[in-house]
Amino acid sequence: MTAPLARVTLVLGGARSGKSRYAETLLREAGGGIYLATAQALDSEMTARIARHRAERGHGWTTVEEPLELAAALERGAQAGRPILVDCLTLWLSNLMGAGRATEAETARLRAVLKILPVPVVFVSNEVGLGIVPDNALARAFRDEAGRLNQAIAAAADRVVFLAAGLPLVLKGG
């Protein structure tokens, strides 16, 4: 299904495109790893979503939850010497924006950490810029920030894969 795990992989796709499952398979094939979750269970629907993701993932994962301090969590996680799966960048971005954090500075911090991580990392991120222009300023700002974040991580990545309908299309790193 996949090539050997790259140092940095970005897996992009729309909602329910199969991106998380694909990313999890990459780590499973590499012998497992750390699941760094950025989601926050702020309501019952998200609580159910998180529980469903955990159940689908099964056992064998070390799960770390970190909604804001992603760069620091990656540095800590790398000490275990195992690959890391970050699911997902767009939830992290949403958390940053909600907390009033400077997204450009946080993205730069993340990119700096990627240069020194001694373990492979796989990022999952939503591609939200393929649809219509959102009707409100916050949604447009989020779409624009997500596009910038995805571009920054794609530039730093050795491999970029886009998923649609569960099918992977390698964009970078053949």
Residues pairing with 8 in the sheet: 121
pLDDT tens-place string over residues 48-81: 887 787 777 777 788 999 999 999 999 999 999 9
Domain residue extents for the chain: 8-172
For 22-62, give the DSSP string: HHHHHHHHTT--EEEE-----SHHHHHHHHHHHHHH-SS-E
Residue 134: DSSP 8-state: P
pLDDT tens-place string over residues 88-100: 999 999 999 999 9
- The CATH superfamily label for domain 8-172 reads P-loop containing nucleotide triphosphate hydrolases (3.40.50.300)
pTM value?
A: 0.92
pLDDT at 166 > cutoff 90: yes
C-beta separation of 107 from 149 below 8 A: yes
pLDDT tens-place string over residues 109-153: 999 999 999 999 999 999 999 988 999 999 999 999 999 999 999
Q: Which amino acid, 61?
A: W
Residue 66: DSSP 8-state: -
pLDDT of residue 1: 44
Helices 103-116 and 137-156, packing angle to 10 deg: 20
* Residues with catalytic roles: 53
